[in-house]
Structure 1
Amino acid sequence: MTEPKITELRPMPADWQRALAVVAHPDDLEYGCSAAIATWTDEGREVGYLLASRGEAGIDTLEPAKCGPLREREQRASAAVVGVTQVEFLDHEDGVIEYGTALRRDIAAAIRRQRPELVITLNHRDTWGGIAWNTPDHVAVGRATLDAAGDAGNRWIFPELIEQGLEPWNGVRWVAIAGSASPTHAADASAGLERAVRSLLEHRTYIEALTDEDPETYARGFLTAHAERTAERFGGRPAVAFEVFSR
């Protein structure tokens, strides 16, 4: 029996200047995507973050009123490590974010404000590769982001945004899904991997509640393992994988 052929991943599109990364919670981008973002900001590209919630329901031992502000601070510090200064929160309720027109409108508004060519989000499917069940928040935000990329360019969808001074933006050329079980592209993580580790470590309160393992050992092991697995399909180079939808 012959071994199945490994499908090589294509390099991420390079002819863009501005990206917007849209996720549900603080730390979502740091679990694997920030190495690519660090490389892109080094190249002079602009990347903004949009978070649907402040992750206030994410730590069992910390009540939401205290947890939300703490995780927001950790997220802003984490973003700064990889060269991102624009971090916006939408204040949807952590754990019960609902897919629907309200979420689509909020994301479309952010796309119109920031005018990205590339939009990034997280796995929007029911499972992580058929192995683990995904959270409703990830599914809702990922799916709404895919839809909002089109909503942002249609003046007849959410016309109230025009009244707020947000003209349609039909310049989104790609939506890239991190954490997909069906990746099509990858971004070289060699230059950004060390900063990705430091970026994830800024979520120290969350990590310490999640595992008894030393935080740096945990962060480095998790991110390195993912980058090395992707390397098998990307010429041996540590990389971040994405499923890319063109528009």
Structure 2
Amino acid sequence: MTEPTITQLEPMPGDWRRALAVVAHPDDLEYGCAAAIAAWTDEGREVAYVLATRGEAGIDTLAPAECAPLREREQRASAAVVGVSEVEFLDHRDGVVEYGTALRRDIAAAIRRHRPELVITMNHRDTWGGVAWNTPDHVAVGRATLDAAADAGNRWIFPELTDRGLEPWNGVRWVAVAGSSSPTHAVDATPGMERAVRSLLEHRTYIEVLTEEDPETYVRGFLTGFAEAAGERFGGRPAVTFEVFAR
């Protein structure tokens, strides 16, 4: 018998200058695609972050009022490591984010403000590769982001945004989903990996309640393990993968 052919991943589109990453929680991007973001900002591309929540329900030993500002500080520090200075929070409630028009409107407004060609989000499907259940927040935010990329360009869906001075933006050319079990494209993780490790380590308070392992050992093992596995489909180079939807 012959070995099955491994479908190779395509390089990510490169014809863009501005990207907007929209996710549910602090640390979502750091677990998902920070090495790619570091490489992009090195190339002079602009990347901004929008988070639906402040992650206030993520640490059992910290009440939300105490947890939210701590996780916001960690997220801003984490973003700075990979060259991102614009970080916005939409202040939906952590753990109970609801898919619907309110969330779509908030994300469409962010897309109109930042006017990206590339929008990035996280896995919007029910599971992670069929072996682990996804969280409702990830599903809601990922799905709403895919929809809001179109909403942002239609002046009649949320006309109140135009009234607020946010003119329609129909310039989103791709939505790239990180953490997908059906990736189509990839970015070489090697140039940005060390900064990706440092970026995730900025979420130290959260990491220390997740594992008893040394934080750096845990972070490095997690990120390099996924990147090396993805590299089997990207010419042997460690990779960050995305499922890309063209518009």
Please tell me whether residue 39 in structure 1 is matched to residue 44 in structure 2. Answer: no
Residue 133 (1) aligns with residue 137 (2): no
Cα drift, residue 14 of structure 1: 0.2
Alignment TM-score, normalising by the size of structure 2: 0.99
What per-residue deviation string (whole Å, max 9, x for no partner) do you get for residues 54-76 of structure 1?
00000011110000000000000
1:151-190 counterparts in 2 under 5 A?
A: 151-190=151-190
2-structure distance, mates of 1:8, 1:25: 30
Quote how far apart the aligned CAs of 1:237 are: 0.7
Amino acid of the residue matched to residue 45 of structure 2? Answer: R
1:204 aligns with 2:210: no
- Counterparts of 1:184 and 1:176 in 2: how far apart (Å)? 9
CA contact (8 A) 1:32 1:226 kept: no
Are 1:240 and 2:240 an aligned pair?
yes
Distance in 2 separating the partners of 1:133 and 1:96: 16
d(CA) in 2 for partners of 1:195, 1:32: 13
Distance across 2 between alignment mates of 1:237 and 1:43: 19
CA distance in 2, matches of 1:36, 1:21: 12
* Matched position secondary structure for 2:28: coil
- Conserved? CA contact 2:9–2:234, under 8 Å: yes
Q: Distance in 1 between matches of 2:132 and 2:4?
A: 24
Q: Is the 1:126–1:139 Cα contact (8 Å) retained in structure 2? A: yes
Which residue does the alignment assign to 2:52? 52
Distance 1:209 1:62 in 2: 11
Alignment match, 1:193: 193
Q: In the alignment, what sits opposite 2:63? A: 63
The amino acid across from 1:93 in the alignment is: R
The amino acid across from 1:6 in the alignment is: I
Residue type at the aligned position of 1:216:
E
Structure 2 spans left out of the alignment, 5+ residues? none
The aligned amino acid for 1:41 is T
Q: Give the Cα separation in 1 of the matches to 2:76 and 2:2.
A: 49
Q: CA deviation at 1:41?
A: 0.1
SS at match of 1:120: strand
Which residue does the alignment assign to 2:146? 146
Q: Distance in 1 between matches of 2:12 and 2:185?
A: 5
Superposition misfits of 4+ residues, deviation over 2 angstroms:
none
Q: Give the residue type in structure 2 aligned to 1:74.
A: E
Q: How far off is 1:4 after superposition?
A: 1.6
Percent identity, aligned pairs only, is 84
Task: Report the alpha carbon displacement of residue 3 of structure 1 after superposing the two structures with TM.
Answer: 2.0
- Deviation per CA, 1:56-99: give whole Å up to 9, x if none: 00001111000000000000000000000000000000000000
Cα distance in 2 for partners of 1:215, 1:190 equals 21
The residue matched to 1:29 in structure 2 has which SS? helix
The 2-side partners of 1:239 and 1:132 are apart by 22
The one-letter code of the counterpart of 1:123 is N
Please tell me the residue identity of whatever aligns with 1:108.
A
Instruction: Indicate yes or no: 2:18 matched with 1:18.
Output: yes
Deviations 1:116-174 (A, max 9, x none): 00000000000000000000000000000000000000000100000000000000000
Structure 1 unpaired stretches of 5+: none
RMSD of Structure 2 on Structure 1 (CA): 0.4
Structure 1 length normalisation: TM-score?
Answer: 0.99
Distance 1:15 1:186 in 2: 15
Query: What is the SS of the residue equivalent to 1:171?
Result: coil
* Number of residue equivalences: 247
Residue 96 of structure 1 corresponds to 96
What residue identity is the alignment partner of 2:208? E
Q: 2:32·2:122 contact (CA, 8 Å) conserved in 1?
A: no
